[in-house]
Structure 1
Amino acid sequence: MKNGIYILANDAVYDQLVALLNSIEVNAGKEIPVCVIPYDNHLDKIKSEITTRDNVTLFDDYSSIEYWENFATEAWQGHSIAHKIWKERGLSNSGIYRLARYRKYCCFDGQFDKFIFFDADTLLMQPLDYVYQKLDEYDWVTNDFQYKSDINYIFDSSQKKLYEAFSNEIIKSQIFCSGWFASKKQMFDADKTTKILESLKSGEADIMAWRDSDQTLLNYMVWRSGISFYNFAYHDVENATGSHWSSNFEVIDHILYDKGKKLTYLHYMSVSSSKFTSLCQGEDVDIPYKEIFLHYRYLKSPESRPTVFTQPSAFAKIQKSTSDFVSKKANSLMYKYHQLQNFKNR
C-alpha cells in the first residue's frame, strides 16, 4: 500500500510550496512521495523545482481534473442564489466561484492508496505516521478546530434543510477545514458522487455557503456519504495541538510547540500569498512566525535568503490597509444582505 501527500499549487504560491516541501523533507523524511496538483497552467517555477526533487511529481491526469470541475459545476447548479451573487460581485468568470480549488478532489483518483492533502500555505512540523495509521480505522481524518468557528463559514445555518438532512451531533462535531485532511483513494467513486449530486439537486444545495468554495462542498460530501470520520482536535482534545497562525506557539529549533507538544502543521489560512512573495523579495512584511517560514523556504538555498528587509512605503501601507478594509466590509455587508433576503423568501 502506497502512502503519500498531495498539494494544490501554482507559481503564485511557489515560495510557500518550496517551504512546505522542505518542511516535509526535514520533518517527515525524504522518502515520503509528494504529488503536486496543478491549480492552473502557471507552473514553470514548480516544474523546475520538481526536477530537483526525486520524491515529488506533478499530477497530470487531466481527465480527473475535468471530472471534478464538472462535478463541482453540477453540484452548485441546484443552489438558488449562489450564481446570482457570484455574478453580481464579479466573483466568477467560469460560472463557479474559485473553480480551480476543486482540483484538490483529484487526490481521490491519484497514485496514493492513503493520502494526506496539504494546501500550499502550510508547514509540516512532525512525522505523519500516526495519521496514516488512523486511516486504518477511519475513512476520513482531520486535525483542526474549524468545528468551533461560526458554522456559516461552511453551511447556511438559516436553512431548515441543514437540520433536516443532518443530526445535531454531526453538525456539532464534523465540520472541518479543507486545507488539510487525510483519506483514501476512490473514497468518492462515480457511484457516490452520483448519489451526492442527486441529494444536492433534491434541494439540499442551498445549505452550502455561497461565499465558500471547495470547503463547503467537501464537508457536505463527507457528511452525506456517511463515511467514518475522525478529528484529532475533537476526539482527542487534551492531546491535540493548534494549527492556525493566530495562536501563540513556542519555537524550538525551527519547530512549533503548543503547550509542550509539537504541532502537526502550521496553516497560514487567509494570509495572502502575495505577502510571502513580497517577503521573499526583501520587503519587511508582517507575517506570523516569519522566521520559521524563511528557515524552511531557504533551507536548501541559504545564499538566496534576503538579508536586508525594506519597509513598504507609507502610501503602499495605506493603500493596502484601505483595500483590505473595504473588501472585508463589502463581503460582510453582502453576506448579511443575502442572508436576510434568503430568510424573507423562505
Structure 2
Amino acid sequence: MDGICVLANDRVYDQLVALLNSIEAIYGENMPVCIYPYDDRTTKISAEIARRSYVEIYNNQESIRYWDEFVRNVWDTHPTAQMNWQKLNGEKYHRVGTHRRYGAFDGPFDRFVYMDADTLLMSPLDRLFAQLENHDWIVYDFQFKDLYHVYNISSPKLGELFTPERLRSGTFCSGFYASKKNIFDTQKCSWLLEQLRQGESEVLYEMAPDQTLLNYMVMKSGISTYNFSLNLPKSDITGCCVTSNHFEVKDNVVYDRGKQLTYLHYIGLSSSLFSRLCSGENIDFPYRDVFLHYRYLHEPDKRPKFTTKPKSYNTQPNLATRIFRKLGITK
C-alpha cells in the first residue's frame, strides 16, 4: 500500500490542516496519510483527523521507543553535540522528536512519500512512486548545493566516507522524500551505530539532527538514490521553496516558469507565523494566500478577514545562525 507520512504535533496544527487539505484537493480521500507524533501534544490534530477517515496517527509504541533509543544512542557517539546542546538549552539531546519520522520504515505503508508539515502538495506523486521501482530513495530538491546544513564540512573524515560525486548525487533535504518500508531494519541500524561509534559520527551536523543522520544512514548504507532535480531535463525542473520569488500562482496552484510544482515548502518560516496569521494577525509572508486557501479549503467562512495593511514578517536569522551566535561562534 502507498501513502503519505507527516511529522506533526499541535504546534503545527494550522500547517497540518493546510497540508491535509492540499492532499485532499488532489487525491480526495484516496491517499492514506499517517501522522508521526513529534511528542504527546496531539489533542487538536486528533480531533481534526477524527473526521478524515484516510488519516491516522501512528501509535506503534514499540517502534516509537525503538527510534527514540536509536537516536539517543547515535548522539551519544558524537564528540561535541551534547556539549553544545547543553550550552544552548541545557538539554542532553536536541529535537529528538524530529527523528520520529523514521517510524515510517516500520509503518503501515509499503511505499511512502514523507512530507514536512510546512509543505503543501501541488501535484500528484505518481512520478515519485514510479521511480521507487528503480531506486529505494527518491528526492526532489537542491540541498546538494548547501552541504553546510547537512554535514560537518570541516571534518576530514567526510571526504574519506563520501566522494564529491556521491555528496552531490546523494545529499537531500529531509523535508520531502519517497522510500520503502523496512529499508532500515534492526540489523542495518546496529551496523550503522557501530560505524558511528568508531569515529564516523564527527561528520554529523548537530544543528539539523534528523537531516544529517538520515543523509548519513542513506549514503553510508549505499541505498540507491534518485534526485529529480539532477535527472529531469533542465526545462522541466522546478523549484520547491518559498524563498523563490518568481513562482506564479494560478487557481491556487504554484508554477515555476509554467511548470507545476510538485510541492511548495515554506522552509525557514516559523510555525508561530502561521498560528498568528490564522488567529487574525495580518502578517505577510511569501505565498501567504496559497497557504490560506488550503488552510480554509473546507471552512472558508473561518478564514481571517483583514482590514489593516499587512505587516511583513520579521526575517529572522536561520536556526543555525541563531544557535552559533548564542554559542559565541561566528559562521
| TM-score normalised by the chain length of structure 2 | 0.94
Whole-angstrom CA distance in 2 between matches of 1:44 and 1:309: 32
Aligned to 1:291: 289
* 2:171 counterpart (149, 170, 175): 175
Change beyond 3 A, Cα 1:309–1:97: farther
1:124 to 96, 108, 121: 121
Q: How far apart, in 1, do the equivalents of 2:282 and 2:115 lie?
A: 27
The yes-or-no answer on 1:34 pairing with 2:33 is yes
Determine the structure 2 residue equivalent to 1:141: 138
Q: Deviations over 1:139-189 (max 9, x none)?
A: 00000011112x121111111111111122111221100011110001100
1:305 aligned partner, one-letter code: R
Q: String of CA shifts for 1:24-65, please: whole Å, max 9, x gaps.
A: 011233201001111111111111111111111111011111
Q: Which runs of 5+ in 2 are unaligned?
A: none
Alpha carbons of 1:337 and 1:328: their partners in 2 closer, same or farther (altered >3 Å)?
Answer: closer
User: CA–CA distance in 2 between the matches of 1:266 and 1:32?
Assistant: 18
Q: CA deviation at 1:282?
A: 1.0
Q: Distance in 1 between matches of 2:237 and 2:56?
A: 31
Secondary structure of 2:283's aligned partner: coil
Separation (CA, whole Å) in 2 of partners of 1:214 and 1:14: 21
Structure 2: distance between partners of 1:157 and 1:325: 21
Contact 1:282 1:309 in 2 (8 A): no
Q: Give the letter for the 2:134 counterpart.
A: E
- Structure-2 residue corresponding to 1:282: 280
Rounded Cα–Cα distance in structure 2 between residues aligned with 1:209 and 1:327: 13
Q: 1:311-326 to 2 correspondence within 5 Å?
A: 324=316
1:112 correspondence with 2:109:
yes
Deviation at 1:212, TM superposition (A): 1.4
TM-score normalised by the chain length of structure 1: 0.90
Q: For the residues of structure 1 that align with 2:319 and 2:177, how far apart are their CA atoms? A: 29
Aligned to 2:179, the other structure's residue is in SS state strand
Aligned to 1:66: 65
| Residues 78 and 44 (structure 1), Cα distance of their counterparts in 2 relative to 1, 3 Å cut | same
* Aligned mates of 2:48, 2:318 — CA distance in 1: 37
> Aligned partners of 1:269 and 1:155: how far apart in 2?
19
* Conserved? CA contact 1:283–1:309, under 8 Å: no
Whole-Å Cα distance in 1 between the matches of residues 320 and 134 of structure 2?
A: 41
Number of residue pairs aligned between Structure 1 and Structure 2: 329
Residues 150 and 204, structure 2, Cα contact 8 Å, conserved in 1: yes
Task: Indicate how the Cα distance of structure 1 residues 298 and 63 shifts in structure 2: closer, same or farther if over 3 A, else same.
Answer: same
Corresponding residue of 1:52: 51
Partner AA of 1:71 in structure 2: F
Task: Judge which range, 197-206 or 303-312, deviates more.
Answer: 303-312
Contact 2:141 2:173 in 1 (8 A): yes
Q: Which residue of the other structure, out of 149, 153, 156, is the alignment partner of 2:149?
A: 153
Alignment RMSD, CA only? 2.1
8 Å contact from structure 2 (residues 135, 226) kept in 1: yes
* 1:325–1:218 CA distance, 2 compared to 1 (3 A): closer
Q: CA deviation at 1:134?
A: 0.7
Per the alignment, residue 342 of structure 1 pairs with: none
- Find the aligned partners of 1:290 and 1:334 in 2 and give their Cα distance: 30
Q: 1:127 to 1:86 in 2, by over 3 A?
A: same
Contact 1:141 1:181 in 2 (8 A): yes
Q: Are 1:103 and 2:100 matched, yes or no?
A: yes
Q: Which structure 1 segments of 5+ residues have no match?
A: 340-346
Measure the CA separation in 2 of the matches of 1:310 and 1:109. 48
